[in-house]
Amino acid sequence: MRGIFIGGIVILCFLISYMIPLKDATSEDIKACLKCHEIKTLQKRLDTGESISLYIDGKRFEKSVHGAMGCSSCHPNINVRNHPKPRKITNKKEYIKEFSPNCINCHPKDVLMKPEVHGIVVKKGEIYCSECHGSHYIGSIKEWKNKATFNEYCMACHKFDMTKTLLSKEKISLKVNEQEIKKSVHGKFQCIVCHSDFSKVKHPIYNFKDKKQYRTEMTKICTKCHTDEKLKKNPTHYALTKTASCIECHGYHGVKPAKVVRALPENQYCLSCHSRAISMKFKNGETLSVQVKESEILNSAHKKLKCTECHRDFSTTKHPIRSFDSLNEYRAKAKDICNNCHQNAVNKYDISIHAASLKRGNKESPDCLKCHGYHNVSFITKDKMASSELCIRCHKESGKAFKESVHYEAVKQGKQNAPNCSSCHNFHDVLPVNVAKLDNSCIKCHKDVKTTHNKWLWNPPLRLTTFVDTHFNSTTCASCHTKAQKAIFLTLVDEAKNKPLQEDEIAKALNIDTKALKTKVDANADGKIEEKELWQFMSSIKEKTKVNLSGKINVLNSSDAHKIESKEKSIKDCASCHSPNAPMKSKFEINREGTKPLRFEVETKVLNSLYAIPNIKDFYVLGFTKIQILDVLFFLALIGGIAVPIGHITLRVLTAPIRRKRREGK
Amino acid sequence: MKRVYLHPLPVRIWHWINAIGFIVLIITGAQIRFVDSMGLMSFETAVDIHSWFGFILIANYFIWLLYYLLTGKLFKIYIPPFWRPVEFIKNSIRQARYYGYGIMVGDKNPHHPTPDNKFNPLQQVSYLMIMGLLIPLQIITGLILWDPQFFSGLADIFGGIQIASLIHTALWIFFSAFIIVHFYLATLGHTPMAHIKAMFTGYEEEHEDH
């Protein structure tokens, strides 16, 4: 009985001991935790499949910088009696993130921010304290610094997914794959061999403008060992180093020997480098990717060609160093490559408005590459719309108008003879519309056009096709076959050569600069040529050379010319042009070799002026271009014609008594 | 009163076709020119009628020419006696004086028409100009405007279609005024209808008033 009593007292004391908080009993605290956490197999498995070991090596912990502290110092909410039930942990990183603020309790942020780079890491919050410093067995940083190799020291942080945002807002990864380095030709190097500006006590911070600058700066690291002198031993490789950065071919840390086997088939040899993301720099700072995707070549019309069949200056032994001022200059030279085989097409292109425009510096203007691509030169498609889409990419308005035309309907219906852009404008020799004689393109398909027009367009009593020609010569097809606003375009023509005068020829005749020509025509610079201005200009140029103005009716906005209506909807009402009130505007054009003409709006009344007779002597639209003053003369003549009899009769009436007297006198 | 056979049948036919043609051409010409303000007919109809009548008058002109060439009267009737210039000028002044003064005071018409000399000096000059120059000009410029492409060579001779159009329009203005005066002068016979009647019958009555 006594024994039972004593036993009861002991158990009660034991139980009570659990209820009284054990302040300042650090070792006891650790011991209590370790009762369970010293079990080696104790671990928690997360839903993500990750596992967190809950085992603590008590002895190691005691040796750590926090060894003298109790568990509750860092885990304040946990003790033996108040141990949270198994709780949900999303993933390891989340768990680490949750516990890291506990460190801040003793290591205030301002202290942590003092070392600059450490401060950046803390501030960015991409890595948490325990990821670098560990959790329970944290040693002395000073000791670790001394003991750690350079690689260990650097990798302590750079093994993590850290990024740096450049001034251009581009991001670069700072994570370094140690294994990749070990496998590389630089595998035995310590980090500071290349990154010599860094050390255990020095971590400069660079603010690169963009990735390009970053790559350029990084390349300088390579040239410390791989000097120009050494690189020159392989001229091809040396040439490459002048157009591409080392990193582009060799990578950053996983530097591999980039030896290219000469025995490879030629295309493979070239692709050894050019399959990589390498680019070319121009003097003006522009860059061009010189990466070649093998798949593009294999799917192109040039799939059977060897690289050197186009790039004739290059071979497995030759890689000339080329330097271009700009992408434009490069592309102009690239055309020569096409010219090796496609001379006819290139010759035609050279006279095109596109070539002239490119020459004048319009970067949007197409050359071979813009339409056909670099290496993905496609086969000629039979899909008429697909090839036209290429033009529509730039000529959006015209494309939109074309899609509302009867021609597009024919394309959609898959008609064999349905036209697309090149049917009228040609493929390569695309000329300015004012000189392209586009109506001939219509006649190419609509061969019997004269006969069909002559069925209704003739002057009695003879049905002459020349009457159709009269209209074809002075108006475009689109003028009647669209509902677009029309205008009369006046152009200066050299009477001797019967050819439109070019801007430079006019300027030369007037002995002025081409830039001053605009002011010469539009003297008051109001953007519109008044009647007086036009005749003054004509008078001054006629003093120098024999010229006249030719005229033609066309649609005002050339894009509208694509919106061809069906035959039934075409204009057949003669008075739509042959009337003084016909809604036509007037334009004055000065031709410019190979490009769009200089255009001015002109007062339409110039066509009704007496001065039009000597100055626009071959253009006449019955009714519309009538000389107004003659109408006044007509009415004066009618009045005069009536006044003569009235006057004469009046005199005869007044003199009737004289005659009567004379008769009576007889 | 004696009757003089002044206007042979071919001349009368030619004259009346010409008269109708002129009026139609003047009116359709006006319709073409004033399409925006005249509503007699559509532009197309006006052009069609104008073209048809243009060709009718061209044919008619050749009837006249052929008749006068074949009968040999062209020279006698239309060509003023340039070999007697002083007399011709005197006669012209006398004729003008008659229309401007003599007719008012009851003078006799100084000119007595005969089949070989039916025009007074003023008529002779006027009709020579009209038949020998103005109508051919109107025909040629009309043809240029009728089909500028077919007659582009002619247009070039004139110095361009604008000049051809200018001439054609100017003559239209002239003929419009002329035809009114011509009609009035036709009423200045011994009776207002005398000359007009003669143009139907061929016979001009030689009255003492003349």
What is residue A60's three-state secondary structure?
helix
Does B178 contact chain A (CB < 8 Å)?
yes
Cα–Cα distance, A419 to A441 (Å, whole number): 10
Nearest CA in chain B to A627: B166
- Residue partners of A150: CB distance under 8 A and separation at least 6: A190, A191, A192, A199, A200
- pLDDT reported for residue A613: 94
Contact list in B for residue A578 (CB cut-off 8 A) is 32, 35, 43
B193 part of contact set with chain A, CB < 8 Å:
no
Q: Which two tokens stand for residue B122?
A: 């003023």
Q: Of how many residues is chain B composed?
A: 210
Backbone angles phi, psi at A256, to 5 degrees: -115, 155
Residues above pLDDT 70, as percent of chain A: 94
Residue B118 pLDDT > 60? yes
**Could you write out the three-class secondary structure of A572-592?**
CCHHHCCCCCCCEEEEEEEEE
* Angle at alpha carbon of residue A123, lines to A121 and A129, rounded to 5°: 55
Q: Scanning the structure block, which residue is given the tokens 């009423």?
A: B187
Chain A nearest-CA distance from B113, in A, is: 23
How far is residue A402 from each of residues A398, A411, A433, A449, A559, measured CA to CA in Å?
Answer: 6, 11, 16, 21, 8
Coil, strand or helix: which one is A240?
helix
Residue A23 confidence (pLDDT): 43
For residue A470, give the nearest of A484, A493, A454, A455 by alpha carbon.
A454
Residues 6+ apart with CB under 8 A from A239: A319, A320, A321
Q: Please tell me the distance from the alpha carbon of residue B182 to that of residue B186, in angstroms, as a whole number.
A: 6
Residue of B nearest to A662 (CA): B106
Inter-chain residue contact A616 with B169, CB threshold 8 Å:
no
Q: What's the complex ipTM?
A: 0.95
For residue A22, the model assigns a pLDDT of 42
The count of other CB atoms within 10 Å of the CB of residue A289 is: 11
Does B146 reach chain A within 8 Å, measured CB to CB? yes
Q: What is the pLDDT of residue A654?
A: 96
- Are the C-beta atoms of residues B17 and B56 closer than 8 Å to each other? yes
Write down the pLDDT at residue A233. 80
Q: What does the alpha-carbon distance between residue B144 and residue A201 come to, in Å, rounded to a whole number?
A: 101
Q: Please report how the helices A628-654 and B161-186 are oriented relative to each other, as an axis angle in degrees rounded to 10.
A: 10
pLDDT in the model for residue B209 = 45
Nearest C-alpha of chain A: how many angstroms from B81? Answer: 28
CA A635/CA B34 separation, integer angstroms: 12
Averaged pLDDT score across all residues of chain A: 85
Q: What share of chain A is helix, strand, coil (3-state, %, to 5)?
A: 50, 10, 40
Q: Is A381 exposed, middle or buried (0-12, 13-18, 19+ CB in 10 A)?
A: exposed
pTM, entire model: 0.70
Report pLDDT for A512: 93
Hey, how many other C-beta atoms are within 10 angstroms of the C-beta on A459?
21
Average pLDDT over residues B18-31: 97
Annotate A198-233 with b (16+ C-beta within 10 A) or e (fewer).
beeeebeeeebeeebebbeebbebbeeeeeeeebee
Q: How far apart are the CA of B26 and the nearest CA of chain A, in angstroms?
A: 11
* A609 CA: distance to closest CA in chain B (Å): 11
**CB < 8 Å to B103, chain A:** 652
Query: Which residues of chain A carry a pLDDT beneath 70?
Result: 1-27, 86, 236, 243, 257-261, 666
Q: Does the CB of B179 have a partner CB in chain A at under 8 Å? A: yes
Contacts of B33 in chain A (CB under 8 A): 623, 626, 631, 634
Nearest residue of A to residue B161, measured between CA atoms: A618
CA A336 to chain centre: 24
Residue at A9: amino acid letter: I
Q: What is the mean pLDDT of chain B?
A: 93
Alpha-carbon span A7 to A15, nearest angstrom: 12
Residue A327 tokens, joined? 């992408």
Asked if the Cβ–Cβ distance from B169 to A626 is below 8 Å, we say yes
* Partners of residue A663 in chain B, C-beta under 8 Å: 106
The residue to which tokens 């490559």 are assigned: A337
pLDDT at A142: 79
Which residues does chain B have within 8 Å of residue A649's beta carbon, measured at their own beta carbons? 184
Q: How far apart are CA A300 and CA A379, in angstroms?
A: 7
Chain B interface disruption, residue of A464, A620, A626, most B CBs within 10 A: A620
* Cross-chain Cβ contact A617/B161 below 8 Å: yes
Inform me whether the pLDDT recorded for B83 exceeds 60. yes
How wide is the angle at C-alpha A610 spanned by C-alphas A607 and A615, nearest 5°? 65
CA distance B28 to chain A (A): 13
